[in-house]
Amino acid sequence: MDLDSLIPILGIIFVIGPVSALVFSYTPLGRAIVNRLGSGAKVTDDRLLGLQDELERLQEQIGYQDTRFEELHDRVDFAERLLARESAAAEEPERVVTPV
């Protein structure tokens, strides 16, 4: 590569790039990005406590759902065994017992 072919590329990188970034920073999306980068993701103590409370609530809810799931599993298992027993009894021919 010679110097003549690098000049347009360097012009785009060092002139047009920063100017377009500056113009973009004045758009609503650009302002939102600049504010986010400028302020950082600061988490206040109140927000952190709120998130911890919500996490604990969700963990309790998951524990409750796990218990319900286990109960439902036991009920389905019982129903399957009961149906299997009934269908096995229906398939067996009746035995006639004659007194001797």
What tens digit of pLDDT does each residue of 46-82 get? Answer: 778 888 899 999 999 999 999 999 999 999 999 999 9
**Residue 100 included in any domain:** no
Looking at the structure, do residues 84 and 53 belong to the same domain, yes or no? yes
CA distances from 88 to 74, 76, 80, 94 (A): 21, 18, 12, 12
- The torsion angle over the Cα atoms of residues 64, 66, 72 and 74, rounded to 10 degrees, is -120
Looking at the structure, do residues 77 and 53 belong to the same domain, yes or no? yes
**Residue 97 included in any domain:** no
Q: Which residue has the tokens 């600061």?
A: 42
22 is in which domain, residue-wise?
7-42
Our count of domains for the chain comes to: 2
**Residue 96 included in any domain:** no
| Choice between 18 and 43, residue whose per-residue pLDDT is larger | 18
The pLDDT value given to residue 1: 62
